[in-house]
Amino acid sequence: MKSQAQTSFRRLTRKRHIGVDTLGLLLAVAVTAASIDDAAAAPRVLAQLDAAAFPRLEVIWPDSKDHTTP
């Protein structure tokens, strides 16, 4: 169980959700409140990776998911 301080800290901070290529070059960014679950923020990043802008993009690999509970 999270303490009150940890819960309050999550409400005041931000998370950066990014999409990068195999060289680590930035392709897409979404900044959300830290209380937003990664699964809820993923569509914001993926929406920026359209086929017209990135025609060579074929596969998307996720790294990990932070299970945020408010």
The per-residue pLDDT string of the chain (70 residues; one tens digit each, 9 = 90 and over) reads 556 655 555 566 888 999 999 999 999 999 998 888 888 899 999 999 988 999 988 998 888 776 666 5
Of 13, 14, 41, 47, nearest to 28 by C-alpha is 47
pLDDT at 37: 86
| Cα angle: 63, vertex 65, 68; to 5 degrees | 160
pLDDT at 2: 59
